[in-house]
Structure 1
């Protein structure tokens, strides 16, 4: 998961839209009037996230995917007051098995933010697992977050992470001085970094 740090100044079009429409509801998020704002927000989130899906870390273009509400805008865990808050947005891929499509309106125990990867690791088989030594409560939070996002559910995603892990380990053995540079541009770089810490 990306250790997401939103830009200090939200998308200007978003701020202008919210200021001009003080009575917004979650239904307005899908309105025709909001579509140009949504495109710009998605591009800004893509830049904030280094061109990766916030949850699975697959490469994602600025016009691809969807804007996911980290805290859902509606449903049983809804936070409608955060529906138009930039810091509650993340750029997510569209895959029915994973990420925002799998999470739906669930409330994640672990959200994409600095330090979010501290309690899980990438196994050599490409699966994401809780680190050893966690309390039962923390282990449950890690497993629940991973499973809510379907991060081990898509076999292609698991296989791709396994291949990238093999590449990282090979570079670490052959050219350890190039490891940091490689990780700065690799997909899955946040979860791959858990293997090297």
Structure 2
């Protein structure tokens, strides 16, 4: 997952919308009135996330994907008060049976935030597991997060494996460019698990 740090300056269009619509709720998020604001928010999130999906870390165009509520705005675990909170947003891909589409209105046990990957272990074959030294309960939380987001999808695992091979090759043959590679590569947040 992205170790997401939101821009501390909330997009002005979002602030203006909230000021003009103080009683707006979850149903207003998909309204025609909010649509132009949503586009600007998505662009800002895209920048915050370095062009990657917040969950699977695949490249994502600024105008593609969706704005996902990290804490859901609806459902049994709803946080409707966070519907228009910029720090509750993530730019996610619309991968079939994955990421925000799969998460739906559930709370993530591990959210995209600084340190979110510390409990994950990345295998050389691209699969994600819990760190071996974790307690049984902590391992469950890791597996639950991974499975809730569909991060063990075979196609995604194969794609991570390709980038792992590139990283290993660079570490062996061109170690001086590894840091630059990790600034731009897909999966760069989880790839760091191999170097720690």
Task: Indicate whether the TM-score tops 0.5.
Answer: yes
The CA distance in 1 between the partners of 2:167 and 2:6, in whole Å, is: 27
Q: SS of 1:91's equivalent?
A: strand
Q: Which residue of 1 aligns with 2:14?
A: 14
- Determine whether 1:175 maps to 2:174: yes
- Determine whether 1:192 maps to 2:177: no
The alignment's C-alpha RMSD in Å is 0.6
Q: Which residue of 1 aligns with 2:63?
A: 63
The CA distance in 1 between the partners of 2:177 and 2:132, in whole Å, is: 29
User: How many correspondences in the alignment?
Assistant: 196
Report how far residue 124 of structure 1 moved.
Answer: 1.1
- Determine whether 1:24 maps to 2:24: yes
Q: Give the ranges of 4+ consecutive aligned residues of structure 1 lying more than 2 Å apart after TM superposition.
A: none
Q: Which residue of 2 aligns with 1:46?
A: 46
Give deviations 1:2-53, integer Å, cap 9, x for gaps.
Answer: 0000001111100000000011110000000000000000000000000000
The CA distance in 2 between the partners of 1:135 and 1:91, in whole Å, is: 31
Q: If the length of structure 2 is used for normalisation, what is the TM-score?
A: 0.99
Alignment of 1:1-197 (within 5 A): 1-153=1-153, 155-197=154-196
The CA distance in 2 between the partners of 1:66 and 1:135, in whole Å, is: 34
Report how far residue 112 of structure 1 moved.
Answer: 0.4
Give deviations 1:126-183, integer Å, cap 9, x for gaps.
Answer: 1111111101111111010000000002x22111100000000000000112111111
Q: Could you list the runs of 5+ residues in structure 1 that have no partner in the other structure? A: none
The CA distance in 2 between the partners of 1:3 and 1:83, in whole Å, is: 21
Q: Could you list the runs of 5+ residues in structure 2 that have no partner in the other structure? A: none
The CA distance in 2 between the partners of 1:22 and 1:11, in whole Å, is: 17
